[in-house]
Amino acid sequence: MGNTVIKAEHVSKEFFLRKAQAGNYTALRDVIVDRLRSVSKGQLARDRKESFLALDDVSFEVQAGDRVGIVGRNGAGKSTLLKILSRIIAPTKGRITIEGRLASLLEVGTGFHPELTGRENIFLNGSILGMSRNEIQRKFDEIVAFAEVEKFLDTPVKRYSSGMYVRLAFAVAAHLEPEVLVVDEVLAVGDAAFQRKCLGRMKEVAGEGRTILFVSHNMEAVQRLCNRGILLSKGKIAMQGDMNAVIRGYLELNAASKSSFEIEMPDDAADRAGFVKSIVIRDHRGDAASEIPVTSDFSVEVTIRINREVEHFIAALGMVTMMEMPFRTIWTAPQRITPGEYVVKFQLNDVHMAPGSYRLVIGLSNNEVTFHYVDNQVFFEISEAAAGEINDRIVNLRSGVILNQTDYSITALNNSNSNQTKG
pLDDT, one tens digit per residue, over 31-75 is 566 666 665 555 544 445 677 889 999 999 999 989 999 998 878
Task: With a cut of 90, say whether residue 220 has pLDDT above it.
Answer: no
Going by pLDDT thresholds of 50, 70 and 90, the confidence category of residue 388 is very low
Over residues 186-196, the mean pLDDT reads 68
pLDDT at 315: 96
pLDDT at 326: 87
| Complete DSSP assignment for 164-230 | HHHHHHHHHHHHS--SEEEE-GGGGGS-HHHHHHHHHHHHHHHHTT-EEEEE-S-HHHHHHH-SEEE
- Distance separating alpha carbons of residues 406 and 423, to the nearest angstrom: 8
Residues with Cβ < 8 Å from 281, sequence gap 6 or more?
259, 260, 288, 289, 290, 292, 298, 299, 300, 301, 360, 378, 380
pLDDT at 49: 62
Q: What is the mean pLDDT of the chain?
A: 82
Domains in the chain: ranges and CATH: 4-254 (3.40.50.300), 260-386 (2.70.50.60)
| Complete DSSP assignment for 312-359 | EEEEEEEEEETTS-EEEEEEPPPEEE-SEEEEEEEEE-S--BPSEEEE
pLDDT, one tens digit per residue, over 323-334 is 778 888 999 999
Among 7-16, 105-114, 387-396, name the most confident range: 7-16
Long-range contacts of 265-271 (CB under 8 A, 24+ apart): 266/372, 269/305, 270/307
Instruction: Confirm whether pTM is higher than 0.75.
Output: no
pLDDT at 46: 46
Tell me how far apart the terminal alpha carbons of the chain are, to the nearest angstrom: 53
Q: Would you put residue 238 in left (φ > 0), alpha (ψ -120 to 50) or beta?
A: alpha
Task: With a cut of 50, say whether residue 275 has pLDDT above it.
Answer: yes
Pairing of strands 340-348, 298-306: antiparallel
- Distance separating alpha carbons of residues 197 and 146, to the nearest angstrom: 9
Over residues 188-213, the mean pLDDT reads 78
DSSP code at position 38:
H
Task: With a cut of 50, say whether residue 150 has pLDDT above it.
Answer: yes
Over residues 173-187, the mean pLDDT reads 79
pLDDT, one tens digit per residue, over 88-133 is 899 999 999 999 888 887 765 566 888 999 999 999 888 877 778 8
